[in-house]
Amino acid sequence: MNLIVVGSGIAGLSAALHAHERGHSVTVVTKGSLGDGCTGYAQGGVAGLYGPDDSPALHAADTLTAAAGLADPAAVEILVDGAAERIAELIARGVAFDRSADGSLLRGREAAHSRARIVHAGGDATGAAIAGTLVAATRASDVSVVENAFLLDLVVTDGTARGVRLLIDDVSTVLEADAVVLATGGAGHLYSHTTNPEGTTGDGIAAAIRAGAAVADLEFVQFHPTILAAGPAFLVSEAVRGEGATLIDDEGRRFTLESHPDGELAPRDVVARAIARRAAEQGSPVRLDATMLGAETLRRRFPTIDRVTRQRGFDWSTTPIPVTPAAHYLMGGIVTDTDGRTTIPGLFAVGETARTGVHGANRLASNSLLEGAVFGARAAAALALPWPAASDTRPVAPPAPVSAARNTHAVPFTRAALQRLMWDEVGLLRSAEGIRRACDTIAVWAAQPLPLQSIADHEDANLLTLAAATATAALARTESVGSHHLESAIAPVLETV
Ligand code: SIN
């Protein structure tokens, strides 16, 4: 079978390598260079190395709890049951996860995990180690690679995905295939402040929406609690809190215990909201106090964070550092079954692009690299299987357009204006009225034709599509759950990143 994989993070490259190893002819298409994207930035690690007091069942229970009751237990079981094999595969491909002096793999802990079960590499450079290894494996294989190719649209013929239309060197080009895997990541650049690298603009999800694929759970956007509140967004891994660091306010008080008995290790959405509220109350960022870990541990365990914080003028071994939340991960996406199949025959989605059901309303830390590896491999295996009956996979209409615009005074559309609107109205702390305002403004913008000349223009159009779908989904969910949190009195989220 001829397969096109769009995207080259852990999910895309896992799908590509597995498909290639199963005898398929594979082309990986990627927007920048192979391995660009979110995977390389992941600090925490891969969840799923179970010690004697731990098990896949406990990991599943933690995943379901963090998901606020909205994860699919069957999908979660597949995720955790696949962990051992996928971690072993990454090691076999050459990922040097950190080990203790006796050679055993080290296990880290992060928020909402009841056990230390996260493997990491280079201390806090796990994603870079994985991306480097998978890129090298891909380049060493017969997988064809097309870099600097922007996904314009899916080619769908008679209801079946048959390829992709790409923009390469300003020329629109069609690549045909028997099946397409979308692995283009999330859409962090919907927001003014995000941990995601440039280019994370929801291109695959927007293309799938245009093609009529079902999407779901787009209202569930995860905000990482601890971004260094100085300079360009830089993530300070949750693993730092897993090692014992605390969050303190201006009075030096640990305030997260007021929100949850697990304090700093409560689910990510709870911690992020507690930080935003306390920062708004005191009018300055809260601080992450890692001083108790000592300079030597901080340098060894978190070399990247140690380097960047020092470059930005902080000695975190002696002084707590200012932190603030930023958009980090999209729990929703293109609806798939547990083999990555979407509602369009021939179209698969894996990784953050997909809504497999494993994250519900809030993703558990370090489950994203695991998801990419597990479901990337499963999608490759499913290529040989017959597509399920049409009744299960019928394409559905794209999300209903946002309401007819009531607000005729919207500022002109720019990416920055959209990001600001989403940050203010469909962000960490939301209100029904604010979401409605966002819907109205987005409707005004969506009614005006956008220029579609450059890649940036196409990205803007994709972000607008995603914003409309996200705001519509948020409006439809009238109760707070997980990362979708409605408050009547909204505390401003500090603009400190
Ligand atoms: C982190 O290191 O805090 C991020 C890990 C994740 O997003 O799962």
- Burial label, 70 (beta-carbon count in 10 A; 0-12, 13-18, 19+): middle
- Burial label, 414 (beta-carbon count in 10 A; 0-12, 13-18, 19+): exposed
Average of pLDDT values for 392-418? 64
Query: Which of 301, 366, 371 to mutate to test ligand 1, by most ligand atoms within 8 A of the CB atom?
Result: 366
**186 part of a folded domain:** yes
**492 part of a folded domain:** no
DSSP assignment, residue 188?
A: G
Ligand 1 atom nearest to 43, measured from its CA: 2
Ligand 1 atom nearest to 365, measured from its CA: 8
Distance 243 CA to ligand 1 centre (A): 14
**487 part of a folded domain:** no
Same domain for 80 and 166, yes or no, is yes
Average of pLDDT values for 166-174? 97
Distance 97 CA to ligand 1 centre (A): 16
CATH number at residue 120: 3.50.50.60
Same domain for 459 and 416, yes or no, is yes
- Measured from CB, residues less than 6 Å from any atom of ligand 1 are 42-44, 237-239, 365-366, 368
CATH number at residue 265: 3.90.700.10
Q: How many domains does the chain have?
A: 3
pLDDT at residue 391 in the model:
52
Ligand 1 atom 1 nearest Cα? 237
Q: What is the pLDDT confidence band of residue 491, given thresholds at 50, 70 and 90?
A: low
Alpha carbon distance 168, 40 (integer Å): 24
- Expressed as residue numbers, the domain containing 231 is 224-325
| Amino acid, single-letter form, for residue 128 | A
Final residue in a domain of this structure, among 396, 421, 451 = 396
Same domain for 241 and 344, yes or no, is no
pLDDT at residue 381 in the model:
98
Same domain for 39 and 121, yes or no, is yes
Average of pLDDT values for 417-424? 98
Same domain for 52 and 195, yes or no, is yes
Ligand 1 atom nearest to 363, measured from its CA: 8
Residue given tokens 């402040």 in the structure block: 193
**Helix, strand, or coil here: 61?**
helix
pLDDT at residue 419 in the model:
98
For the whole model, what pTM was predicted?
0.94
Distance 483 CA to ligand 1 centre (A): 15
DSSP assignment, residue 20?
A: H
**177 part of a folded domain:** yes
| Amino acid, single-letter form, for residue 417 | A
Same domain for 23 and 161, yes or no, is yes
Same domain for 164 and 192, yes or no, is yes
Same domain for 250 and 369, yes or no, is no
Same domain for 9 and 130, yes or no, is yes
Same domain for 67 and 32, yes or no, is yes
Q: What is the pLDDT of residues 208-240, one digit of tens each?
A: 999 999 999 999 999 999 999 999 999 999 999
Q: Mean pLDDT across the chain, nearest whole number?
A: 94
Using a pLDDT cut of 70, give the percent of the chain over it. 94
CA-wise closest residue to 149 among 455, 466, 451, 462: 455
Query: Which of 41, 43, 264, 275 to mutate to test ligand 1, by most ligand atoms within 8 A of the CB atom?
Result: 43
Q: What is the pLDDT of residues 1-29, one digit of tens each?
A: 999 999 999 999 999 999 999 999 999 99
Same domain for 274 and 372, yes or no, is no
Average of pLDDT values for 252-259? 97
CATH number at residue 433: 1.20.58.100
Alpha carbon distance 307, 242 (integer Å): 19
Final residue in a domain of this structure, among 284, 306, 325 = 325
Ligand 1 atom nearest to 110, measured from its CA: 3
Q: Does 329 have pLDDT greater than 60? A: yes
List residues with catalytic annotation.
268
Ligand 1 atom 5 nearest Cα? 44
Q: What is the pLDDT confidence band of residue 395, given thresholds at 50, 70 and 90?
A: very low
pLDDT at residue 463 in the model:
98
